[in-house]
Every structure is written in C-alpha cells, then in structure tokens.
Structure 1
Amino acid sequence: MKQWFAYLVFVAALLGGSFAVSAQEEPMRVPVDAQALKIQTASGEKSFGLEIADTDQKRSAGLMYRKDFPADRAMIFVFGEERPVMMWMANTPLPLDMLFVRNDGSIARVAENTVPFSKDIVASGEPAAFVIEVNAGIAAKLGIKAGDTVKHRIICGQCQ
C-alpha cells in the first residue's frame, strides 16, 4: 500500500511538473504602446513600436521563449529608479542588443549581440533606470551608441 501511494505521489509530481513547464514556456505577449519609442542618434531619429515591461511579472518574463520579434520593435524594462541593473538571456532564443538607459533618457551602455539562452550576467556598468531590448544587430545598423537620447512618455513624460 505504501508503495502504491508513493507511486501516485511520484506520478502526480511528474504531471504537475510537466504542466508547470508547459505554462512557463509560453511567451509573454505585451501590447504595443500607442506612442512610439524614439532614439536620437548622430544620424537622426530612429523609431520603434514599444512593448512595456513595468511589473515584476513582465520584467521577469521579458522576451523569454519569444521566437519572433519584429525589427522595428523594442521592449523596455522599467525599474523605477536608477540602480545597477543585471540582465541575462536564460530561456531567450533570440540574440538581442540591450540599451541601458539613465533616468534622463541618455543611453549609458549598449550591450550588443547577447547570447541566446546564456545565464551569464549582462550588467549595466553604471546605474540605469531602464533597459531597452531590440533584435541583435539593430544598434550597429542604426548607429545607436552610448550617449544617444531615448524619448518616450515612460521615461520623460511629455518629451520635447
């Protein structure tokens, strides 16, 4: 009888675990904000449709499990204050460029071509209030560099 009960507990744990894995592997879909994100570069203004990750749940999920992300799209992670930020690429199949942004909208650091599925830390290098993710290669292609300015209501309210 004890063996039978142990077997049932084992099977239940396996089933529960497999359901949890299935649910976790579903990518998060965030609606595109009505206002575009704009980045002022040396070669002019670049515009992106923006997905906003502004809750713990959204920041934790980010672009995990996403196999599609348009070239004209960005996701912003909102931290609410400047602080050292550490990101990683666990469960993220797409290579990304990460833009670490200060409270004033200036880009502090650009981490290009982050490695899919890597658990290595990608650090801001200095305090940042936001991280913007775009597809790998976009920063180089559009000339986005540290010192460029990002504009969106989530960063600067009514930006001019």
Structure 2
Amino acid sequence: MRVVHEPTGGSERTLATAVEFADGLLSQARGLMFRRSFPGDYALVFRFGRVANRGLHMVFVPFDIDAVWLVDGEVTASKRLPAWRGLGRGRANTVLELPAGAAEGVEPGDTVRVLDGDGTDVTTGGG
C-alpha cells in the first residue's frame, strides 16, 4: 500500500509506502501514543464511516507529526503537530498521521489517496 498526494495542477508524489489502519475503537484511541519512533515512509490511517469534525492530540506522542484531514480523498486541512502538546482539528471521514515533513506542500483542495497494491483507492473503506 501507499499514500499518494495529487496536488491541484501538480504531479503525483508518494507520501508513504508503509501503511497501517487504525479502524478499531482501541487502535483509534491509541493512535501513535507510547510509540518510540515513527519510520520515515509510514502512515497511520484513521477511516470513519461518516464526515465529522475530527480532533487529534499529541499527549504521549514523543515526536512531531504531520496530520491530514480528508473528505472522500480531498484535503480539508493539513497541520504540523508538535510532540506532547500539539492539537489539531478538521472535518474528515479519513485522517492521516505522517512523519513530520512528509505532508509538506499538502494543501486544502488537493487529493490524497491510500492505494492498495492493485492501485485501488481504499481511502474511505473502513469504519
């Protein structure tokens, strides 16, 4: 699997090649808390069954991350969240957590998709 960014009027680029889904209640609640590291090619994907305001916190997360909020693959918000004290909120049915710097240049209105090995978009398939 991979996470692909398609900027408006730009060329496609891969943001991550190691993708993990946090589709269950416990995995969504835990997120990246208590992890010691975050590989540079990794993405944690939260898929939800409906669009709503989705908040993230960085309590017990010892490294900075980039967060991207999506509605049906369209970016609604993107923010760098600092370790331990970061907070973010956006409207989404999918939220991505990426290593700090991975979402550089990802802007509202762009498209970000999670593709399986066959190229099928699985961005909103959970929840």
Please indicate the TM-score interval, normalised by the length of the shorter structure.
0.7 to 0.9
- The alpha-carbon deviation at position 130 of structure 1 amounts to 1.1
Give me the TM-score of the superposition, normalised by structure 1.
0.66
Aligned-pair identity (%): 28
CA RMSD after TM alignment: 1.7
Give me the TM-score of the superposition, normalised by structure 2.
0.81
- Compare the two structures and name the one with the higher strand fraction: 2
Residues of 2 paired with 1:122 and 1:39: CA distance? 20
Matches within 5 A, 1:9-158: 35-41=1-7, 42-48=10-16, 49-102=18-71, 104-112=72-80, 114-118=81-85, 121-124=87-90, 127-140=91-104, 143-152=105-114, 153-155=121-123
Higher CA-based Rg: 1
Secondary structure at 2:28 match in 1 = helix
Gaps of 5+ in 1: 1-34
Q: Considering Cα pairs closer than 8 Å and 6+ residues apart, tell me whether 1 or 2 has the greater RCO.
A: 2
Deviation digits for residues 50-90 of structure 1, max 9, x if unmatched? 11000110001111111211111111111221001111001
Change (3 A) 1:47 1:115: closer
- Compare the two structures and name the one with the higher helix fraction: 1
Change (3 A) 1:82 1:71: same
Contact 2:49 2:93 in 1 (8 A): yes
Gaps of 5+ in 2: 115-120
Across the two proteins, how many residue pairs are aligned to each other? Answer: 116
